[in-house]
Amino acid sequence: MSISALPADLLWSFVFAAGLLLALVLRSALLLRHMRYVAQHATQVPAPFVGHVDPAQHQQAARYTLDKARLGLIEASAGTAITIGWTLLGGLDALDRALRAWLGEGLLQQTALVAAFLVIGALLQLPLAWWRVFGVEQRHGFNRSTLAQWVGDGLKGAAVAALLGLPLLLAVLWLMEHGGHLWWLWVWALWMAFQGGLMLAYPRFIAPLFNRFEPLRDAPLLDRVQALLQRCGFRAEGVYVADGSRRSSHANAYFTGIGPSKRVVLFDTLLQRLGPDEIEAVLAHELGHARLRHIPRRLAGLALISAVALATLAWLAQQPWFYFGLGVTPQLSGGNAALALVLFMLVAPVGGLILTPLFSALSRRDEYAADAFASRHSSAAALARALLMLHRDNASTLTPDPLYARFYYSHPPALQRLARLQAAGAPT
Which residue out of 278, 280, 286, 366 is catalytically annotated? 286
- Residue 250 annotated as part of some ligand binding site: no
- Residue 285 annotated as part of some ligand binding site: yes
Amino acid (one-letter) located at 380:
A
Distance CA 8, CA 47 (A): 57
Distance CA 38, CA 223 (A): 42
- Sorted by sequence, the CB contacts under 8 Å of residue 174 that are 6+ apart come out as 107
Distance CA 260, CA 90 (A): 48
Distance CA 345, CA 332 (A): 22
Backbone torsions φ then ψ of 264, nearest 5 degrees = -95, 130
Query: Catalytic site residue 96?
Result: no
Query: Catalytic site residue 75?
Result: no
- Find out whether 12 and 320 touch, Cβ atoms under 8 Å: no
Which residue out of 93, 278, 371, 393 is catalytically annotated? 371
- Residue 75 annotated as part of some ligand binding site: no
Which helix (H) or strand (E) element contains residue 242? strand 239-242
Backbone torsions φ then ψ of 57, nearest 5 degrees = -65, -40
Which stretches does DSSP call E strand in 104-219?
213-215
- Find out whether 98 and 75 touch, Cβ atoms under 8 Å: no
Q: Per the annotation, where are the binding residues?
A: 285, 289, 367
Q: Active-site residue numbers?
A: 286, 371
Q: Per the annotation, where are the binding residues for Zn(2+)?
A: 285, 289, 367
